[in-house]
């Protein structure tokens, strides 16, 4: 708990310091309300009620053809607020249910004995599209802990993120939390889970708030094809801004200390559809197929992405802002990306398709051995700030620490040059290439240190606005 408050206090300090420098409005990224006040995300109260064993309602512990889902539903239905429905060590075969095997109830927590020994396996007798193991609609004040959520699917095909193959008749999501008639799911802790063998997302959080996902391991999606598959955790608001500041606004959610293991993940975390003021912190992400943390080009804004370690995203960006899909374009303003460690990713952080006012600060980007990689790529990203980043030791052929270039958009949509970009106090050393600027206007450039970059420290086709003294060598 002391560590939590230390990290939280540090984030408040960093955010306050940085936004004093950037002169933005009182509203700021991360866990802050529209007036700039700190939001303390609530956790569920201690479950002081009974422990209700699913085995007392007829579930068995064996991996067999028997349906245990009916017993689980009975246990949940008979639980009272404050109770915990408990899964002793064993394998639970979940076969019945329409859109889910069982639904959550406000105040009733779900727990296993251990995430490695209390295993729930989905195998729907009758397939329903968009099915889930656990579903919560407008529920609050509960925890889900210490379980493995999986499915019977066991084919080991090569993950293909370019495929447009149809959805299989298999498990869609492990957990889906959503609003109901304008009432969000909220004050929920999801902790110490293993989630695998799903199609869409390990965890989907829709139109909901104050949900904390902590210390979970997500891996082995059934598919990473296009069209909404292979997401580790999805934070999603509504497709218009009508819910902003309403109870079912998607905000104030935390994803922390989770492990995401590729290559059978398309994205580790995806944030979309006006979701805002969420925090993604201290996660470990390895080898996703494309953008590991994806701000999906659907107006998501003021999210904070920090202190994550992202490694071996060799086909995409560690963190992507904006999206070139047919129904996507730019992310919203003032997403704050800072203090992340990025290793051997094709692109470190990318801002495209008109995503405005992104702040990228104090990240470390290193050990890129891939061809034609880039540390920070800005295309059409108005008023992007690049500050205090350390890009070093990237020796792949054709690598550049920072690239500013024209954005072709998609069939001309969202095309444009970088504009109003601030590049300051970055350290770009020991790479194949330093900084390359081929397009842009009103680019402010000062106090950067560029040295020992093989193919040049600073190559620019435009005139830069300079303040203070640059340390180019």
Mean pLDDT of the chain: 91
With cut-offs at 50, 70 and 90, classify the pLDDT of residue 110.
very high
Using CA atoms, how far apart are residues 254 and 310, in angstroms rounded to an integer?
Answer: 18
Q: What is the pLDDT of residues 364-397, one digit of tens each?
A: 999 999 999 999 999 999 999 999 999 999 999 9
- The predicted structure's pLDDT at residue 25: 58
With cut-offs at 50, 70 and 90, classify the pLDDT of residue 329.
confident
- The predicted structure's pLDDT at residue 215: 99
With cut-offs at 50, 70 and 90, classify the pLDDT of residue 15.
low
Q: What is the pLDDT of residues 341-370, one digit of tens each?
A: 999 999 999 999 999 999 999 999 999 999
pLDDT(17) > 60: no
pTM of the model: 0.93
Using CA atoms, how far apart are residues 152 and 222, in angstroms rounded to an integer?
Answer: 10
Q: What is the pLDDT of residues 388-418, one digit of tens each?
A: 999 999 999 999 999 999 988 877 788 899 9
- The predicted structure's pLDDT at residue 134: 98
- The predicted structure's pLDDT at residue 442: 96
pLDDT-above-70 percentage for the chain: 90
CATH of domain 44-279: 2.160.20.10
Cβ-proximal residues to 405 (8 Å cutoff; 6+ apart), any chain:
377, 379, 418, 436, 437, 438, 439
- The predicted structure's pLDDT at residue 157: 65
With cut-offs at 50, 70 and 90, classify the pLDDT of residue 223.
confident
Residue in 393, 399, 402, 465 with CA at minimum distance from that of residue 438:
402
Sign of torsion over alpha carbons 322, 233, 156, 368: positive
Q: What is the pLDDT of residues 423-458, one digit of tens each?
A: 999 999 999 999 999 999 999 999 999 999 999 999
Residue in 19, 108, 4, 22 with CA at minimum distance from that of residue 383:
22
pLDDT(298) > 90: no
How confident is the model over 111-135, as a mean pLDDT? 93
Residue in 87, 103, 70, 77 with CA at minimum distance from that of residue 176:
103
Using CA atoms, how far apart are residues 168 and 82, in angstroms rounded to an integer?
Answer: 38
Q: 19-23, 30-34, 388-392: which has the minimum mean pLDDT?
A: 19-23
Q: What is the pLDDT of residues 225-261, one digit of tens each?
A: 888 889 999 999 987 776 677 889 999 999 999 999 9
Cβ-proximal residues to 236 (8 Å cutoff; 6+ apart), any chain:
204, 205, 206, 207, 250, 271, 272, 273, 275
pLDDT(24) > 60: no
- The predicted structure's pLDDT at residue 397: 98
Cβ-proximal residues to 228 (8 Å cutoff; 6+ apart), any chain:
200
- The predicted structure's pLDDT at residue 326: 58
């Amino acid at each position: 708990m002391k560590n939590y408050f230390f990290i939280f206090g540090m984030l408040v300090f960093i955010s306050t310091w940085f936004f004093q420098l950037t002169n933005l409005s009182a509203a700021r990224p991360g866990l802050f309300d529209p007036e700039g006040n700190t939001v303390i995300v609530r956790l569920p109260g201690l479950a002081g009620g009974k422990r209700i064993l699913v085995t007392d309602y007829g579930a068995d512990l064996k991996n067999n053809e028997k349906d245990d889902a009916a017993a689980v539903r009975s246990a949940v239905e008979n639980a009272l607020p404050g109770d915990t429905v408990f899964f002793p060590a064993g394998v639970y075969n979940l076969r019945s249910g329409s859109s889910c095997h069982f639904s959550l109830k406000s105040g009733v927590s779900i727990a296993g004995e251990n995430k490695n020994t209390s295993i729930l396996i989905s195998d729907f007798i009758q397939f329903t599209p968009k099915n889930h193991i656990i579903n919560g609609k407008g529920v609050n004040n509960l925890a889900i802990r210490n379980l493995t959520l999986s499915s019977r699917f066991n084919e080991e095909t090569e993950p293909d993120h370019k495929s447009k193959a149809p959805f299989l008749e298999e498990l869609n999501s492990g957990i889906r939390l959503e609003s109901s008639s304008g009432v969000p799911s909220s004050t929920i802790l999801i902790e110490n889970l293993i989630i695998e063998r799903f199609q869409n997302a390990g965890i989907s959080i829709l139109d909901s708030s104050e949900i904390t996902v902590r210390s979970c391991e997500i891996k082995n999606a059934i598919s990473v094809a296009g069209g909404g598959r292979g997401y580790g955790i999805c934070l999603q608001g509504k497709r218009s801004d009508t819910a902003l500041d309403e109870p079912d606004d998607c905000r104030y959610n935390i994803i922390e200390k989770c492990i995401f293991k590729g290559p059978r993940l398309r994205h580790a975390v995806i944030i979309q559809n006006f979701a805002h003021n969420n925090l993604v912190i201290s996660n470990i992400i390895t080898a996703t197929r494309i953008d590991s943390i994806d701000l999906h080009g659907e107006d998501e804004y003021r999210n904070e992405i920090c202190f994550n370690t992202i490694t071996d995203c060799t086909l995409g960006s560690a963190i992507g802002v904006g999206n070139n899909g047919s129904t996507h374009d730019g992310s919203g303003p003032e997403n704050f990306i800072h203090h992340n460690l990025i290793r051997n990713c094709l692109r470190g952080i990318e801002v495209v398709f008109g995503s405005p006012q992104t702040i990228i600060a104090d990240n470390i980007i290193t050990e890129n051995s891939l061809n034609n990689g880039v540390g920070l790529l800005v295309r059409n990203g108005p008023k992007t700030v690049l500050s205090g980043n350390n890009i070093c030791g990237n020796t792949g052929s054709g690598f550049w620490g920072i690239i500013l270039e024209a954005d072709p958009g998609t069939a001309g949509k969202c095309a444009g040059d970088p504009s109003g970009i601030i590049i300051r106090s970055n350290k770009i050393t020991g790479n194949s290439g330093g900084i390359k600027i081929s397009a842009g206007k009103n680019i402010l450039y000062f106090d950067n240190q560029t040295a020992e970059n093989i193919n040049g420290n600073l190559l620019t086709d435009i005139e830069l606005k300079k303040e203070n003294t640059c340390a180019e060598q």
